[in-house]
């Protein structure tokens, strides 16, 4: 078990999500920065499908009741074990009873704490992800919660008996699984493909979309990042019937663009002016309120980084 002494601003259980249910009104959800989750799981020897903790802006304090191996990736939240600093993006051994602490993020928004064996929350529709919009999956992690650990990298002794965590084996294997975290840019550039309703906007609006700075506002969460910038004038007025949404959609209500992230709704009624390249969504997921984003047409923008496509 992992006992949570302090959950911080928002901590949830996340894996790679639950694809394939949108036709029933269930979004994918999953880690907002999936490549960071994958790197953390790889470091501790987990399968890519293993669940970890997504920690928003730090503030997590936890205690294991057994020896464990952990790794933290994503947002640069200083990690310590019993007040001793530990390296970011590195497999770290945690003795039973030691206090693990993730301090306030020095860069980025969402850190991923992977534990060898994974977080063994009960799956819903094939995923252990917390969906904060649909309220599916495990509840948000709260102070005092006790989270069960999985057994993906546990090894039963040849002579029988209870399963044991091969702590030395996991740590030794981690040396061959070293990862390099991509930089978290101060002013990310996101590539945008034309949206299905691009023609609903004036030429001046399209010019503004790709030339103006866009500021991530505090009204942003796992559902989407609300962007502050110039008004985007419509060429076609009126309302749309609800239509399907995908992660990365830039929907434009009267209050301004919203960039949909992991817990986005499956339908929407406002026009979608563009869709951010899936490889660039981790940059958006790591953009704190106040960050300036630059949007560029996908056919002229520079690549943003070595991220994994769905």
Using the structure block, give the residue that is written with the tokens 């796992």. Answer: 222
CATH of the domain at 216: 2.40.100.10
Report whether 27 contacts 131 (CB < 8 A): yes
Instruction: Look at residue 179 and tell me if it is in a domain.
Output: no
Q: Is the domain of 220 the same as that of 162?
A: no
Do you know the residue count of the chain? Answer: 310
Closest CA to 26 of 141, 125, 122, 138: 125
The whole-angstrom separation of Cα 252 and Cα 265 is 14
Dihedral sign for Cα atoms in the order 34, 137, 288, 111 = negative
Q: Is the domain of 130 the same as that of 33?
A: yes
- Write down the pLDDT at residue 172: 62
Chain centroid to CA 14: how far? 8
Q: Is the domain of 119 the same as that of 202?
A: no
Q: What does the pLDDT look like over 96-117, one tens digit per residue?
A: 999 999 999 999 999 999 999 9
Report whether 181 contacts 88 (CB < 8 A): yes
The rounded radius of gyration (Å) of the Cα atoms in the chain is 20
The boundaries of the domain holding residue 89 are: 2-174
Instruction: Look at residue 309 and tell me if it is in a domain.
Output: no
The whole-angstrom separation of Cα 310 and Cα 308 is 7
The whole-angstrom separation of Cα 260 and Cα 266 is 10
- From the CB of residue 185, how many other CB atoms can be counted at a distance below 10 Å? 16
Q: Is the domain of 217 the same as that of 194?
A: yes
- Write down the pLDDT at residue 165: 53
Q: Is the domain of 13 the same as that of 161?
A: yes
Instruction: Look at residue 182 and tell me if it is in a domain.
Output: no
Instruction: Look at residue 303 and tell me if it is in a domain.
Output: no
| CA–CA–CA angle 64, 65, 70 (5° rounding) | 30
Q: Is the domain of 169 the same as that of 259?
A: no
Report whether 140 contacts 134 (CB < 8 A): no
The model's pTM:
0.90
Instruction: Look at residue 142 and tell me if it is in a domain.
Output: yes
- From the CB of residue 72, how many other CB atoms can be counted at a distance below 10 Å? 28
Q: What does the pLDDT look like over 130-185, one tens digit per residue?
A: 999 999 999 999 999 999 999 755 443 343 434 455 666 666 666 556 678 999 99
The whole-angstrom separation of Cα 18 and Cα 137 is 10
Residues of the chain with pLDDT under 70: 152-178, 300-310
DSSP 182-237: PP--SS-EEEEEEPTTGGGB-HHHHHHHHHS-EEEPSS--SSEEEEE-S---BSS-
Instruction: Look at residue 217 and tell me if it is in a domain.
Output: yes
Q: Is the domain of 162 the same as that of 216?
A: no
Q: Is the domain of 167 the same as that of 215?
A: no
Q: Is the domain of 198 the same as that of 170?
A: no
Into how many domains does the chain fold?
Answer: 2
Using the structure block, give the residue that is written with the tokens 């947002």. Answer: 75
The whole-angstrom separation of Cα 154 and Cα 162 is 10
- Write down the pLDDT at residue 305: 42
The whole-angstrom separation of Cα 136 and Cα 74 is 24
Instruction: Look at residue 183 and tell me if it is in a domain.
Output: no
- Write down the pLDDT at residue 151: 74
Q: Is the domain of 102 the same as that of 240?
A: no
């Amino acid at each position: 078990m992992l006992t949570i002494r302090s959950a911080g601003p928002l901590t949830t259980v996340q894996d790679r999500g639950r694809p394939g249910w949108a036709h029933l009104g269930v979004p994918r959800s999953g880690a907002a920065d999936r490549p960071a989750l994958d790197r953390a799981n790889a470091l501790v020897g987990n399968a890519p499908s293993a669940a970890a903790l997504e920690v928003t802006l730090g503030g997590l304090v936890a205690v294991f009741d057994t020896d464990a191996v952990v790794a933290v990736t994503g947002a640069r939240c200083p990690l310590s074990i019993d007040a001793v600093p530990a390296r970011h993006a590195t497999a770290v051994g945690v003795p039973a009873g030691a206090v693990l602490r993730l301090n306030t993020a020095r860069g980025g928004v969402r850190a991923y704490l992977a534990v060898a064996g994974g977080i063994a929350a009960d799956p819903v529709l094939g995923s252990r992800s917390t969906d904060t919009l649909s309220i599916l999956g495990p509840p948000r992690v709260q102070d005092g919660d006790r989270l069960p650990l999985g057994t993906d990298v546990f090894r039963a002794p040849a002579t029988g008996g209870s399963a044991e965590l091969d702590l030395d084996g996991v740590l030794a294997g981690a040396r061959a699984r070293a990862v390099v975290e991509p930089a978290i840019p101060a002013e990310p550039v996101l590539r945008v493909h034309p949206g299905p309703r691009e023609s609903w906007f004036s030429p001046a609006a399209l010019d503004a979309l790709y030339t103006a700075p866009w500021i991530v506002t505090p009204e942003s969460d796992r559902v989407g990042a609300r962007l502050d910038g110039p008004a985007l004038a419509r060429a076609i007025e009126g309302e749309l019937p609800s239509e399907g949404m995908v992660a990365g959609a830039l929907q434009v209500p009267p209050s301004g663009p919203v960039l949909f992230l992991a817990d986005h709704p499956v339908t929407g009624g406002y026009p979608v002016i563009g869709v951010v390249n899936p490889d660039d969504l981790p940059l958006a997921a790591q953009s704190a309120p106040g960050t300036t984003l630059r949007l560029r047409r996908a056919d002229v923008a520079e690549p943003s980084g070595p991220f994994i496509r769905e």
